């Protein structure tokens, strides 16, 4: 089983919503579409589902071109951000509805529905109407409906976005397990980098209608191939700073120069953009190799055990994420420390020149 | 927490009470007053108790008018509600030029004053100068709403359908438009039939506005006066004398103030009762369906 998008693009009224994209999804894999809102995740899913016809390109399913195939003849199930169930039907009937369309007999339906309800832990509510369930249970009902269908392609469009934090965590853990056994291809759209990392599998980073990078989730996270992918895959957003390399010296925007570390020796002289993630910034020098930057605090957000520090470094907005509670005065000038092993180096036009040194060490 | 007691708050509702008193309670009490008294002129009134009510309730004339009224309202609802839903379902789904055009065209009849609607159809149906009447007559169809009771009924019903179906359409359309797109997509992926989409997605989502549409149409058609008055004047004979036309005849034509007042009160109570019963039944159905 495989799904391949070949040079798919979609234009609506002259505007390109999806730029020419290629994607190959394999059997029994979890594939995350990661991108901010309006990056084209839902549109791409609608194309995969057959709800939208691409303006160009082909969709290949198991080696067969299904671009012009009717929706009815496709092997697809989909779950949405909104909890979508038939309001007049009981939970049982909701789950049974795709099977009824397939003309399964009564006995088969009962077994399948009960099993799906059990897996999704909604067995006690089979007689209820969707409206009498909590949000989480409503989404479980929708998931059960998708599960029972046994489709080869399961599309999950931000299924947890409308749930509160606890329910989201609970379901996020369950979803990959639930569908794993079915051997289907999963596509899961989300705006949150953490969600992609927790789900694992493969990730396609999307931005403004383009697939920037597709690969193993951890690979994409550690080795983003350009600034946009790195930014899409960082929460809080990645911090950037410009620097110039000349004669083994790195000169940053504040005018201070540092001697290069070993892994930077292959970088030719020139102007670059360095990027690093919020958690790699420290308020105190933890290792001798860390270099110091002077920044101005804009404001701090304390989440209990961690502190987000919004700061300004020679005009660049940075966000630092440090352990512990730090009450820093607004507009205070403080030193922050960064290890050069944690910086990604991008060429000025945006492509990755050199991955962060630490990332190459992790397997 | 201790509740603050402050009787001065009652003064805040006083303006509303005064307003309601003048707009509703005082006129209504005048009617109640007339309904339990009789007069022989010179502003001398005598207490007659429930005599007028008994007379009205036993009156064949009122029974006949009520029968006609119920028949008319039933026909109107049976035509306008399904037709309205049907049209709403076939309106353009995306907002744009076409949906705007449809909405404007549909809203037009609603903007025409009732007596003008009556006049339009009165002339439209005339066999000497009206387009409809003349055409039918020339086609050899015997149509004359001033002489034939059935023709009069058909004319009034078509006129009401023309005038008021738009209201059902607009309300249903608003209900339909509020259904999020993913519902339809989910149904499509589930391969649900058109009927299933209507029965299990569209109808439940339209239920609230449909309830209002039916209530409005019931009350309005049950109180219909102007249009049939202008078109047929209640005739031929008494064929289209609905309750309100009969009431006006009694009150102003014959100047039987006592019985007319009793009639008004009964009329009012019937509408209130039916509306309440309808609303309660619908709401209970909702609850039962949910349990």
Low-confidence ranges of chain B (pLDDT < 70): 1-3, 286-291
Residue B24 inside a domain? The answer is no
Most A CBs within 10 Å, among B182, B195, B196, to test the A interface:
B182
A358 near B CB under 8 A: no
Residue B85, C-beta contacts closer than 8 angstroms, at least 6 positions apart: B168, B172, B206, B210
Interface test with A, best of B179, B186, B205, B288 (most A CBs within 10 A): B186
Per the CB < 8 A criterion, the answer to whether B24 and B253 are in contact is: no
Q: Tell me which of B96, B179, B189, B286 to substitute to probe the interface with A (most A C-beta atoms closer than 10 Å).
A: B189
What is the domain-level CATH number for residue B68? 1.10.3720.10
Interface residue A129 vs chain B (CB under 8 A)? yes
Interchain proximity A86–B200, CB inside 8 Å: yes
A363 pLDDT above the threshold of 80: no
pLDDT at B46 (0 to 100): 82
Domain boundaries, chain A: 2-232, 239-361
Cβ of B189 and A71 within 8 Å?
A: yes
Question: Do B190 and A145 lie within an 8 Å CB cutoff?
Answer: yes
Separation of alpha carbons A16 and A12, rounded Å: 6
Indicate yes or no: CB of B185 within 8 angstroms of CB of A72: no
Could you tell me if A80 lies within 8 Å of chain B, comparing CB atoms? Answer: yes
Chain A residues within an 8 Å CB radius of B195: none
Contact B200 A89 (CB under 8 A): yes
According to DSSP, residue A122 is labeled -
The yes-or-no verdict on residue A204 having pLDDT over 60 is: yes
Q: Is A131 on the interface with B (CB under 8 A)?
A: yes
pLDDT of residue B1: 58
Tell me what pLDDT residue A296 has.
92
Looking at residue B75, its pLDDT comes to: 95
Any chain A CB within 8 A of the CB of B290? yes
Name the percent of chain B lying above pLDDT 70: 97
DSSP conformational letter for A261: P
CATH superfamily of this structure's domain A2-232? P-loop containing nucleotide triphosphate hydrolases (3.40.50.300)
Q: Does any CB of chain B come closer than 8 Å to the CB of residue A51?
A: yes
A127 touches chain B (CB under 8 A): no
Give B289's contacts in chain A (Cβ within 8 Å).
88, 129
User: Span A239-361: which CATH code?
Assistant: 2.40.50.140
* Predicted confidence band of residue A319 (pLDDT cuts 50, 70, 90): very high
Question: Does residue B34 lie within any of the structural domains?
Answer: no
Q: What is the pLDDT of residue B2?
A: 65
List Cβ<8 Å contacts ≥24 apart for B195-202. B198/B89, B199/A88, B200/A86, B200/A87, B200/A88, B200/A89, B201/A86, B201/A87, B202/B89, B202/B176
**Residue B160: which of B200, B199, B120 has the closest Cα?**
B120
Chain B, residues 197-216, CB within 8 A of chain A, namely: 199-201, 203-205
pLDDT of residue B165: 94
Q: Does A97 contact B192 at a Cβ distance shorter than 8 Å?
A: yes
Residue among B182, B188, B191 whose CB faces A80 most closely: B182
Helix (H, G, I), strand (E, B) or coil at A162: coil
At residue A263 the predicted structure's pLDDT band, cuts being 50, 70 and 90, is confident
Give the list of residues 6+ apart from residue A152 with CB closer than 8 angstroms, or none. A1, A61, A75, A76, A184, A185
Query: What are the E-state strand segments in A249-330?
Result: 249-252, 257-259, 270-276, 290-302, 306-313, 316-323
Q: Would you say residue A151 has pLDDT above 90?
A: no
Residue A71 to residue B192, Cβ atoms within 8 A: no
Mean pLDDT of A203-231: 90
Total domains in the fold of chain B: 1
Helix (H) or strand (E) run with residue A215 in it:
strand A210-216
Please give the Cα distance from B287 to B291 (Å, whole number): 6
Cβ-Cβ contacts under 8 Å, B188 against chain A: 51, 71
Chain A residues touching residue B288 (CB < 8 angstroms):
none
What confidence score (pLDDT) does residue B291 get?
41
Q: Does the reported pTM lie above 0.80?
A: no
Task: Read off φ and ψ for residue A34, nearest 5 degrees.
Answer: -110, 130
Tokens representing B180 are 């999020």
Rounded to an integer, what distance in angstroms lies between the CA atom of residue A135 and that of residue A190? 18
In this structure, the strands spanning A239-246 and A249-252 are antiparallel
| Nearest beta carbon to residue A131 from set B182, B192, B290 | B290
The predicted-structure confidence for A10-58, as pLDDT tens digits, reads as follows 988 878 888 888 888 888 888 999 999 888 898 999 888 888 888 888 8
For A117, A119, A145, A160, A169, the CA distances from A123, given in Å and listed in that order, are 5, 9, 13, 21, 21
User: CA-CA distances (angstroms) from residue B274 to B63, B192, B242, B278?
Assistant: 17, 37, 17, 6
Chain A residues with beta carbon closer than 8 angstroms to that of B290? 129, 131-132
Q: How far apart are CA B253 and CA B261, in angstroms?
A: 14
Determine whether the interchain pair A129/B200 forms a contact, defined as Cβ–Cβ distance below 8 Å: no
* A101 lies within 8 A of chain B by CB: yes
Q: How far is CA A52 from CA A19, A34, A56, A61, B75, in A?
A: 15, 20, 12, 16, 43
Q: A178 and A120 in contact (C-beta within 8 Å)?
A: yes
Among A82, A88, A145, whose Cβ lies nearest the Cβ of B182? Answer: A82
CA distance A135 to chain B (A): 16
CB pair distance less than 8 Å for A82 and B200: no
Tokens of A105: 């007999």
Contact A78 B289 (CB under 8 A): no
Please provide the average confidence, as pLDDT, over all residues in chain A.
87
CA atoms within 13 A of residue B184's CA, in its CB half-sphere: 11
In a domain, B21, yes or no: no
Q: Position of tokens 């709401």?
A: B283
Q: Please state, in angstroms and rounded to a whole number, the distance separating the CA atoms of residues B38 and B49.
A: 9
Tens digits of residue pLDDT in B155-187: 999 999 999 999 999 999 999 988 888 888 888
Within 10 angstroms of residue A65's Cβ, the number of other Cβ atoms is 12
Give the CA angle between residues A217, A221, A225 to the nearest 5°.
Answer: 110
Mark yes or no for CB contact B204/A88 under 8 Å. Answer: yes
User: Is the Cβ of A161 closer than 8 Å to some Cβ of chain B?
Assistant: no
> Which residues partner with A245 through β-bridges?
A250, A270
Out of A51, A82, A86, name the one closest to residue B201 (CB). Answer: A86
Three-class DSSP labels, chain B = CCCCCCCCHHHHHHHHHHHHHHHHHHHHHHHHHHHCEEECCCCCEEECCCHHHHHHHHCHHHHHHHHHHHHHHHHHHHHHHHHHHHHHHCCCCCCCHHHHHHHHHHHHHHHCCHHHHHHHHHHHCCCCCCHHHHHHHHCCCCCCCCCCHHHHHHHHHHHHHHHHHHHHHHHHHHHHHCCCHHHHHHHHHCCCCHHHHHHHHHHHHHHHHHHHHHHHHHHHHHCCCHHHHHHCCCCCCCCCCCHHHHHHHHHHHCCCHHHHHHHHHHHHHHHHHHHHHHHHHHHHHHHHHHC
Q: What is the mean pLDDT of residues A275-286?
A: 90
Domain that holds residue B202: 59-290
**Torsions phi, psi for A289 (to 5 deg):** -75, -15
Q: Chain A residue closest to B185 (CA)?
A: A51
CB contacts of A132 in chain B (<8 Å) are 290
Taking CA–CA distances from A150, the nearest residue in chain B reads B190
State chain B's mean pLDDT as an integer. Answer: 86
DSSP A131: G
- Longest CA–CA span in chain A (Å) reads 78
- Percentage of chain A modeled with pLDDT above 70: 99
């Amino acid at each position: 089983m495989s799904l391949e998008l070949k040079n798919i693009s979609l234009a609506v009224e002259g505007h390109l919503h999806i730029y020419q994209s290629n994607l190959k999804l394999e059997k029994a894999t979890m594939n995350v579409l990661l991108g901010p809102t309006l990056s084209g995740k839902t549109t791409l899913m609608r194309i995969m589902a057959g709800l939208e016809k691409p303006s160009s390109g082909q969709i290949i399913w198991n080696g067969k071109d299904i671009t012009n195939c009717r929706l009815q003849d496709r092997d697809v199930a989909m779950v949405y951000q909104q909890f979508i169930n038939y309001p007049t039907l009981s939970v049982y009937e909701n789950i049974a509805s795709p099977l009824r369309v397939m003309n399964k007999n009564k006995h088969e339906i009962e077994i399948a529905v009960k099993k799906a309800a059990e897996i999704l832990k909604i067995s006690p509510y089979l007689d209820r109407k969707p409206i009498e369930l909590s949000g989480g249970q409503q989404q479980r009902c929708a998931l059960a409906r998708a599960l029972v269908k046994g489709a080869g392609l399961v599309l999950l469009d931000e299924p947890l976005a409308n749930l509160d934090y606890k329910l989201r965590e609970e379901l996020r853990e369950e979803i990959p397990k639930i569908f794993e056994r079915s051997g289907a291809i999963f596509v899961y759209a989300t705006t949150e980098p953490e969600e992609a990392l927790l789900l694992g599998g493969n990730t396609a980073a999307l931005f403004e209608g383009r697939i920037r990078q597709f690969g193993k989730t951890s690979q994409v996270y550690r080795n983003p191939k350009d600034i946009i992918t790195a930014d899409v895959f960082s929460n809080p957003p990645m911090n950037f700073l410009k620097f110039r390399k000349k004669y083994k010296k790195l000169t940053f925007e504040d005018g201070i120069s540092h001697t290069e570390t070993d892994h930077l020796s292959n970088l030719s002289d020139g102007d670059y953009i360095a990027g690093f993630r919020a958690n790699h910034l420290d308020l105190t020098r933890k290792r001798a190799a860390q270099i110091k930057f002077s920044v101005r605090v804009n404001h701090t957000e304390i989440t209990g055990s961690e502190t987000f520090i919004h700061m300004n470094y020679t005009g660049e907005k940075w966000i630092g994420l440090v352990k512990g509670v730090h009450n820093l005065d607004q507009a205070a000038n403080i030193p922050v420390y960064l290890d050069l092993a944690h910086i990604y180096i991008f060429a000025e036009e945006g492509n990755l020149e050199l991955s962060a040194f630490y990332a190459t060490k992790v397997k | 927490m201790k509740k603050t007691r402050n009787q001065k708050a009652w003064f805040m509702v006083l303006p509303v009470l005064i307003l309601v008193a003048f707009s509703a309670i005082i006129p209504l009490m005048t009617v109640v007053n007339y309904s339990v008294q009789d007069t022989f002129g010179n502003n001398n009134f005598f207490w007659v108790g429930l005599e007028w009510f008994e007379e009205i309730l036993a009156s064949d004339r009122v029974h006949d008018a009520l029968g006609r009224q119920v028949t008319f309202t039933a026909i109107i609802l049976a035509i306008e509600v399904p037709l309205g839903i049907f049209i709403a379902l076939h309106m353009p789904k995306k907002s744009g030029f076409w949906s705007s055009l449809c909405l404007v065209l549909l809203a037009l009849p609603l903007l025409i004053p009732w007596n003008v609607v009556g006049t339009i159809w009165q002339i439209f149906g005339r066999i000497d100068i009206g387009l409809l009447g003349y055409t039918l007559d020339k086609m050899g169809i015997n149509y004359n709403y001033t002489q034939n009771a059935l023709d009069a009924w058909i004319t009034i019903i078509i006129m009401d359908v023309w005038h008021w179906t738009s209201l059902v359409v607009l309300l249903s359309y608003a209900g339909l438009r509020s259904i999020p797109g993913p519902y339809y997509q989910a149904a499509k992926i589930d391969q649900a039939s058109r009927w299933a989409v209507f029965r299990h997605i569209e109808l439940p989502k339209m239920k609230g506005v449909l309830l209002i549409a039916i209530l409005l149409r019931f009350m309005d058609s049950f109180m219909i006066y102007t249009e049939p008055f202008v078109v047929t004047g209640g005739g031929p004979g008494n064929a289209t004398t609905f309750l309100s036309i009969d009431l006006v005849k009694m009150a102003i034509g014959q100047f039987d103030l006592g019985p007319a007042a009793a009639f008004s009160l009964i009329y009012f109570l019937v509408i209130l009762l039916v509306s309440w019963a309808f609303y309660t039944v619908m709401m209970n159905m909702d609850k039962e369906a949910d349990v």
